[in-house]
Structure 1
């Protein structure tokens, strides 16, 4: 039995060895396939990413020195339309928002009481003129009789006093007539200046008085119009010097930067507000298109001088970082470098550079958000689609397809 078991046991060992060999071969094959092939040279890093940008030249030119402040638009003239006498408002002849000229009729009061007063004054004058005529006739007779000693000097003097009294009375009557005529004229309310009518605040049929605080309406002159603005008191010498040299141009802008009007500085207030340290100024604008409206807030730029041959860059090129202002400068190999700069005044989209740049350098004005120090750039021409340029640069930098 033992001899019979040995051949079977030997065959089992052989089978086990065969299985181990097969398993080992399989493991070797799997490892061989799992082992990565040597990586090809990375072509993606062979080219750095090219950033498309727009650039502008640093150049020298004359730059206007501009002071900016926030102002409030005010009508050049504002008139509260009141009645100057007591009476019933008979009619309102203007339309709300209507443009009127000086002398245009705005409203009428019931004139009958004023007409009656005027008629009484005229009648009183006629009566006193008749009495004066009679007194003058008596005086003439008395003078004739006095020459023949038929009338005393006292009688003549009394007659002369009566004549003088009636003359004074007639003068008073004339004053009464003029007063009554004026009150009658006041029953017709007219516009004192040119302007635009506001909303009606008193309707026809109401009794109005000269002492009323509520006006019938408000008349505002919008052409020209004024803007009152404030500037820091440190700007006073520059404004005074500019105003002494000639008219100071003023530009009014809306919150979005839209130009609403151009005008001139009219006056500097005669005192500085001690609580705020600011100076008030008034600029006048023709406002032909009525783009400036009373009560609106606007930004006002005053051109107080000119910097000759100043080094300038577009405002878009000026960037602010943790260490201050800087600009991206494109070198001869089209590599962008971050350059610290200092700026002065800014005017009409340009900034005056006081240090950090030199004439003729190229600075990035668009596409800065993708830049890093020493980034390779592709300069786009005026009006170029930087998005399309970016896609082209990415395709050129991408590795070739397998």
Structure 2
């Protein structure tokens, strides 16, 4: 009896731990499932790294461009205007940007000494002419005396020696007239020489154009060939802006893609929105050994007042002339960004699928409508990319 009571009070521990262990593993399994689900959800919501590009403006000329080259704007008619004479610059009538006509006086050197020389030479001419007049009068008197002596000899009133003396006097008078005429011409030549010296102190524009730079100021000494260390060789540099053209270097290996009279599209770095038409006017028949290039001269078919010498330019050598409807830019994007008629536009970390209509292909770009310039789109989107997905741009 006592033993049964004791057995009744004994706790069977073999079943209790087994029950607790089963409940513990159930919670562990539940937590593991939750963690996996959370991981899958986190993986799904994690931003996907993508390559991006921007919607830009493209020009139709890109699709028919055979060759691209760079160069500079130069003036075919350009000169450093200087004086043939030496002297101090007394007056300068132009500045940078001044438009001048052919033959217009633009500067003058001090020339008071040369003007005095001209006055002296002109006085010498007048003196020589006076002596010539006197000699001519003596010739008239000698001829008259000779005729009178010959008449008197015919009537045997004078001897032959008197007539011979009259003949010699007439010859001398005639020679004196010739000598005085030569003296007049010499004096006139001296006037012209002094006048040339005076003209050399007056600097004129050799052609109609625009003053580009000013090398000398009033008071500077100007000398041909920059004769001294402190002298200036040129007063101004000017150019005819109507003769502007592009000098572009073309690689020897690309010469087959360019030829005379080939149409070109010109873009200036200073005016990126401006596209001007031109054509190849000349090819310089020499090769630059150091760069292995040939110089091409591209003449402007269209002009703009904003184009200035020494501007850098890009030249596209075209297969054919552009049509009027090909002169305006088009909205375009990299062809790899368009998949199944849509692009993925990125905005604040989320992409939206935007349907687009494609047009002409321009090099590696394609014309599109439905997006605007500056939009950021996904480049080469993955097949799994969906509308509304969170993405992040890859770091370059």
- TM bracket, shorter-chain basis: 0.5 to 0.7
Match for 1:293 among 305, 309, 312?
309
Say if 1:222 and 1:290, in contact at 8 Å, map to a contact too: no
1:251–1:302 contact (8 Å) kept in structure 2: no
Instruction: Provide closer, same or farther for how the CA distance between residues 252 and 54 of structure 1 changes in structure 2, counting only shifts above 3 A.
Output: closer
Aligned counterparts of 2:53 and 2:92: Cα–Cα separation in 1? 65
Deviation readout 1:137-189 (Å, 9 max, x if unpaired):
11222222323324543332222222122222222222222222233233332
Find out whether 1:350 has 2:362 as its counterpart.
Answer: yes
C-alpha distance in 1 between matches for 2:222 and 2:204: 16
Alignment deviations for residues 346-395 of structure 1 (CA, whole Å, 9 cap, x no partner): xx972399xxxxxxxxxxxx9553524xx2678xxxxxxxxxxx42x679
- Which residue of 293, 296, 299 maps to 1:281? 296
Per-residue CA deviation, residues 314-339 of structure 1 (Å, 9 max, x unaligned), is: 98546xxxxxxxx688569x99xxxx
Whether 1:25 aligns to 2:41 is no
Aligned residue number for residue 228 of structure 1: 247
Q: Conserved in 1, the CA contact under 8 Å of 2:143 and 2:170?
A: yes
SS at 2:278 equivalent: strand
Q: Secondary structure at the match of 1:155?
A: helix
Question: In the alignment, is the contact (CA less than 8 A) between 1:261 and 1:291 conserved in 2?
Answer: no
CA RMSD in angstroms comes to 4.6
Distance of 2:97 and 2:378 partners within structure 1: 50
- Do the aligned residues in 2 keep the contact of 1:96 with 1:198 (CA within 8 Å)? yes
Question: Of 235, 239, 246, which aligns to 1:216?
Answer: 235
The whole-number CA distance in structure 2 between the counterparts of 1:26 and 1:352 is 69
Candidates 377, 381, 385, aligned match of 1:371: 381
Whether 1:141 and 2:137 are equivalent positions in the alignment is: no
- In the TM superposition, residue 202 of structure 1 has moved relative to its aligned partner by 2.7
Cα distance, 1:279 vs structure 2? 1.7
Cα distance change on mapping 1:153 and 1:236 into 2, 3 Å: farther
Q: Take 1:109 and 1:256, find their aligned partners in 2: how far apart are those partners? A: 40
Give the 3-state SS of the residue equivalent to 1:35 in structure 2: helix
Query: Is 1:172 matched up with 2:168?
Result: no
**d(CA) in 1 for partners of 2:271, 2:306:** 18
Partner of 1:195: 209
Shift of 1:8: 9.4
Q: 1:275 to 1:105 in 2, by over 3 A?
A: same
Matches within 5 A, 1:106-117: 106-117=106-117
**Any stretches of 5+ residues in structure 2 without a counterpart?**
56-60, 151-162, 323-330, 344-359, 366-375, 392-396
Deviates more, 1:114-123 or 1:298-307: 298-307
- Shift of the alpha carbon at 1:130? 0.6
Distance 1:145 1:68 in 2: 93
Long gaps (5+) in structure 1: 56-60, 308-313, 319-326, 336-347, 354-365, 379-389, 396-402
Is 1:101 aligned to residue 101 of structure 2? yes
CA distance in 2, matches of 1:62, 1:261: 14
TM-score normalized by structure 2? 0.65
Tell me the matched-pair count.
325
Q: What's the CA shift for 1:192?
A: 2.3
Aligned pair in 2 of structure 1 residues 394, 199: CA closer, same or farther (>3 Å)?
A: closer
Q: Following the alignment from structure 1 to structure 2, what is the Cα–Cα distance between the partners of residues 32 and 238? A: 78
- State the distance in 2 between where 1:211 and 1:230 align: 32
CA distance in 2: counterparts of 1:129 and 1:161, whole angstroms: 15
* Corresponding residue number in structure 2 for 1:34: 28
Shift of 1:121: 1.0
Q: TM-score, normalised by structure 1?
A: 0.64
